[in-house]
Amino acid sequence: MAFDLKDLGWDDDWSKVFAPFAADQLVPGRVAIEFNYIYRVFAQSGELQTQHSGRLRHEAESLSAVGDWVAVKPTPGEATGTIEAILPRRSKFSRKVAGELTKEQIVAANIDTVFIVMGLDGDYNPRRLERYLILAYESGARPVVILNKSDVADHLAEDMDEIQGLAVGIPVHAISAKEKAGIDVITGYLGPGKTGALLGSSGVGKSTLVNALLGEEKFKTNDVRAHDSRGRHTTRHRNLILLPELRGLLVDTPGMRELQLWSQGEGGRDSFEDILELAQGCHFTDCRHRDEPRCAVKQAVEEGTLAADRLEGFLKLQDELKSLEARKDVRAQIDAKRKIKSVSQSLKRLYKDRES
Three-state SS for 308? Answer: helix
Q: What is the CATH number of the domain that holds 76?
A: 2.40.50.140
DSSP E strands in 208-299: the ranges are 239-243, 248-252
Distance of CA 23 to the CA centre of its chain: 32
259, part of any domain: no
98, part of any domain: yes
**Which DSSP state fits 97?**
P
5, part of any domain: no
Same domain, yes or no, for 323 and 212? no
| Distance spanning both ends of the chain, measured CA to CA | 59
Element (H, E) at 208: helix 206-214
> Which residues span the domain enclosing 18?
12-86
- Choosing from 199, 218, 252, the residue where a domain stops is 252
pLDDT of residue 7: 93
pLDDT of residue 103: 63
**Which DSSP state fits 79?**
S
How many C-beta atoms lie closer than 10 Å to residue 58's C-beta? Answer: 8
Same domain, yes or no, for 150 and 114? yes
Same domain, yes or no, for 97 and 246? yes
Residue 88: burial class (beta carbons within 10 Å; 0-12, 13-18, 19+):
exposed
Same domain, yes or no, for 138 and 226? yes
User: What is the three-state SS of 164-195?
Assistant: HHHCCCCCEEECECCCCECCHHHHCCCCCCCE
Same domain, yes or no, for 199 and 322? no
Same domain, yes or no, for 81 and 99? no
Q: What is the CATH number of the domain that holds 308?
A: 1.10.40.50
Length of the chain: 356
Same domain, yes or no, for 140 and 224? yes
Same domain, yes or no, for 222 and 154? yes
257, part of any domain: no
Beta bridge partners of 260: 96
Distance of CA 250 to the CA centre of its chain: 13
Same domain, yes or no, for 120 and 170? yes
Same domain, yes or no, for 19 and 126? no
- Choosing from 223, 252, 281, the residue where a domain stops is 252
Q: Total structural domains in the chain? A: 3
pLDDT of residue 223: 53
Q: Are 192 and 11 in contact (CB under 8 A)?
A: no
CA distance 214 to 171: 23
pLDDT of residue 228: 44
The pTM (predicted TM-score) of the whole model is: 0.73
261, part of any domain: no
Q: Are 82 and 73 in contact (CB under 8 A)?
A: yes
266, part of any domain: no
- Choosing from 65, 86, 107, the residue where a domain stops is 86
Q: Are 135 and 261 in contact (CB under 8 A)?
A: yes
**Which DSSP state fits 327?**
H
Same domain, yes or no, for 82 and 97? no
7, part of any domain: no
Q: What is the CATH number of the domain that holds 208?
A: 3.40.50.300
Over its length of 356 residues, how does the chain's per-residue pLDDT go in tens digits?
Answer: 789 999 999 999 999 999 999 999 999 999 999 988 899 999 999 999 999 999 998 877 778 999 999 999 999 999 999 999 999 999 988 765 555 555 667 889 999 999 999 999 887 888 888 888 888 888 889 999 999 999 998 889 999 998 988 888 889 999 999 999 999 999 999 999 999 999 888 888 888 999 999 988 877 665 544 444 444 444 457 899 999 888 899 998 875 554 554 455 544 556 677 888 888 899 898 898 988 899 999 999 899 888 888 888 788 877 777 765 655 454 455 445 555 555 555 555 656 666 65
pLDDT of residue 229: 43
Same domain, yes or no, for 246 and 318? no
pLDDT of residue 262: 43
